[in-house]
C-alpha cells in the first residue's frame, strides 16, 4: 500500500507514559532519518504530495546508466538540488537530535539523506547510507573533488580524464559498506529506534526497521502520515518532526 492509501492517522497528542518510561531506561538510541526530517528546511521530499519523483522518474536521473547516457542532464539536476541544500538550514528537528546527543549517553544518527543537515546541526556519530551531495568523485580513479566544481567546459572531468560524479548512492548501486555496516551495528544494539520522516520503501536502508524490531528495540515512528512500517512500530507520533523532536528535548531538560 502506498502511504497515501493509509487512513488519516490521529494527530500527535504528546509523549505518552510508555514512551517516557522507555526513554528513561534507554542507554543506546538510534535516529533513522529520511527526507521528511529535512522537509521543514525547504528541501523537497521524494514521494510526498510535492515529491521529486512525482515530476521526474528516478530511473532517468538517480542511476549510473542515466548519468553515462546524459551526464549534463544529471549534473543539472544535482546542481539544482545542491543549491537548495546550500541555501537550506538545519531545522528544529535536526537541532533536537544534535541536542539529544549532548543530553544522552549514546545517540547515533543513521540517515538516508544526502543533504548534510545533521552534520550542520552539530550531530556527531552519523552514518550516511546514501552518500552526501557535497562530495564528488572521479568514476575512473576515485579521486575526490569536494571543492566547487568547474562546469565551464561542460561536465567536470578529473585530471585523469574521467567524469566526476556526485558521491551519492544511485538505484542499483551498493551502499557504502562501512556506513551500512556501522549503522546496522548501532541498530542491532539500540534500546530505542526512532524512524523519522521516511516512507521506508527504499532498501536495504528500510530493512533496518526490521533489524531493529528483531533486535528487540522499542520502535518510535515520527511522521506526518502512516507508512509501510507503522504497523511494526511500538508507537507512532503523527506530526512534524520539527515539533515532536524538540518536545522530547524539553522533557529531557525538565527531567535533569
Ligand atoms: C541496492 C540518493 C543492491 C540519490 C537514493 C532493481 C535493481 C537494483 C536494486 C533494486 C531494484 N528494484 C528495487 C531495488 C532496490 C532499490 C529500492 O529499494 N527501490 C525501491 C524504490 C523499490 N534500492 C537500491 O537500488 C539500492 N541499492 O539495492 O543495491 C543491488 C545492487 C545491484 C543490483 C541489485 C541490487 C540503492 C537505494 C538508494 C537510492 N538512492 N537517494 C539521490 O537522493 O539523488 S533513494 C532516496 O530515497 C533518498 O536517498 C531517500 O532518502 C530515500 C528514501 O526516501 P525517504 O527518505 O523515505 O523520502 P520519501 O519522500 O519517500 O518519504 C518522506 C517521508 O517523510 C514521508 O513518509 C512523509 O510523510 C514524511 N514527512 C514529510 N514531511 C515531514 C515528514 N515526517 C515528519 N515531519 C515532516 N515535516
Ligand atoms: Zn580520475
Q: How much distance in Å is there from the Cα of 247 to the middle of ligand 1?
A: 28
Ligand 1: residue of 60, 84, 171, 175 to mutate (most ligand atoms within 8 A of CB) is 171
pLDDT tens-place values along the chain, 256 residues long: 444 445 677 888 899 999 999 999 999 999 999 999 999 999 999 887 777 777 777 777 899 999 999 999 999 999 999 999 999 999 999 999 999 999 999 999 999 999 999 999 999 999 999 999 999 999 999 999 988 899 998 999 999 999 999 999 999 999 999 999 999 999 999 999 999 999 999 999 999 999 999 999 999 999 999 999 999 999 999 999 999 999 999 999 998 7
Q: How much distance in Å is there from the Cα of 146 to the middle of ligand 2?
A: 14
Nearest to 82 by CA among 39, 134, 159: 134
Q: Which ligand lies nearest the alpha carbon of 161?
A: 2
CA distance 137 to 177: 17
Burial class (CB in 10 A: 0-12, 13-18, 19+), 51: middle
Query: 231 and 209 in contact (C-beta within 8 Å)?
Result: no
Kindly state the cell numbers that stand for 4: 497515501
- The residues annotated with a catalytic role in the active site are 130
Ligand 1: residue of 6, 198, 238 to mutate (most ligand atoms within 8 A of CB) is 198
- Output the pLDDT for position 7: 62
pTM of the model: 0.95
In order of their start, the domains of the chain are 12-43+90-130+175-256 (3.40.50.1220), 44-87+136-168 (3.30.1600.10)
Phi, psi dihedral angles at 44 (to 5 degrees): -65, 145
Our answer on whether the CB atom of 177 is closer than 6 Å to any ligand 1 atom is no
Ligand 1 atom at minimal distance to the Cα of residue 81: 44
Our answer on whether the CB atom of 129 is closer than 6 Å to any ligand 1 atom is no
Mention every residue, 6+ apart, whose C-beta is less than 8 A from residue 3: 47, 199, 225, 226, 227, 228
Query: 234 and 220 in contact (C-beta within 8 Å)?
Result: yes
Nearest CA to ligand 1 atom 11: 172
Ligand 1 atom at minimal distance to the Cα of residue 200: 57
Kindly state the cell numbers that stand for 42: 525547504
- Output the pLDDT for position 46: 87
Q: Which alpha helices (DSSP H) does 109-206 contain, by range?
A: 117-120, 177-188
Cis omega before residue 204 (within 30°)?
yes
Q: Which ligand lies nearest the alpha carbon of 46?
A: 1
Nearest to 97 by CA among 105, 88, 107: 107
- Output the pLDDT for position 119: 98
Our answer on whether the CB atom of 47 is closer than 6 Å to any ligand 1 atom is yes
Ligand 1 atom at minimal distance to the Cα of residue 36: 65
Q: How much distance in Å is there from the Cα of 161 to the middle of ligand 1?
A: 31
Buried b (16+ CB within 10 A) or exposed e, 196-209: bbbbbebeebbebb
Amino acid at each position: 500500500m502506498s502511504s497515501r492509501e493509509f487512513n488519516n492517522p490521529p494527530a500527535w497528542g504528546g509523549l505518552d507514559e510508555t514512551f517516557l518510561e522507555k526513554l528513561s531506561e534507554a542507554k543506546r538510541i538510534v535516529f533513522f532519518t529520511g527526507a521528511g526530517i529535512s522537509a521543514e528546511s525547504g528541501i523537497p521530499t521524494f514521494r510526498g504530495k510535492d515529491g521529486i519523483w512525482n515530476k521526474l522518474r528516478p530511473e532517468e536521473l538517480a542511476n549510473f546508466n542515466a548519468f553515462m547516457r546524459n551526464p549534463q542532464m544529471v549534473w543539472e539536476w544535482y546542481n539544482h538540488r545542491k543549491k537548495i541544500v546550500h541555501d537550506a538550514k538545519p531545522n528544529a528537528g535536526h537541532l533536537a537530535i544534535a541536542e539529544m546527543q549532548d543530553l544522552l549517553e549514546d545517540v547515533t544518527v543513521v540517515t538516508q539523506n544526502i543533504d548534510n543537515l545533521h552534520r550542520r546541526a552539530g550531530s556527531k556519530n552519523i552514518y550516511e547510507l546514501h552518500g552526501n551531495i557535497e562530495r564528488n568523485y572521479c568514476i575512473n580513479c576515485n579521486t575526490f573533488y569536494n571543492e566547487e566544481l568547474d562546469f565551464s567546459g561542460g561536465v567536470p572531468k578529473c585530471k585523469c580524464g574521467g567524469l566526476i560524479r556526485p558521491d551519492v548512492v544511485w538505484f542499483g548501486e551498493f551502499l557504502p559498506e562501512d556506513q551500512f555496516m556501522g549503522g546496522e551495528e548501532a541498530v542491532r544494539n539500540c534500546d530505542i529506534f526512532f524512524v523519522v520522516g521516511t516512507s521506508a520503501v527504499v532498501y536495504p536502508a528500510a530493512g533496518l526497521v526490521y533489524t531493529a524490531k528483531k533486535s528487540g528495540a522499542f520502535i518510535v515512528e515520527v511522521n506526518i502520515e502512516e507508512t509501510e512500517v507503522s504497523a511494526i512500530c511500538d508507537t507512532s507520533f503523527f506530526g512534524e518532526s520539527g515539533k515532536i523532536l524538540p518536545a522530547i528535548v524539553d522533557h529531557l531538560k525538565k527531567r535533569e
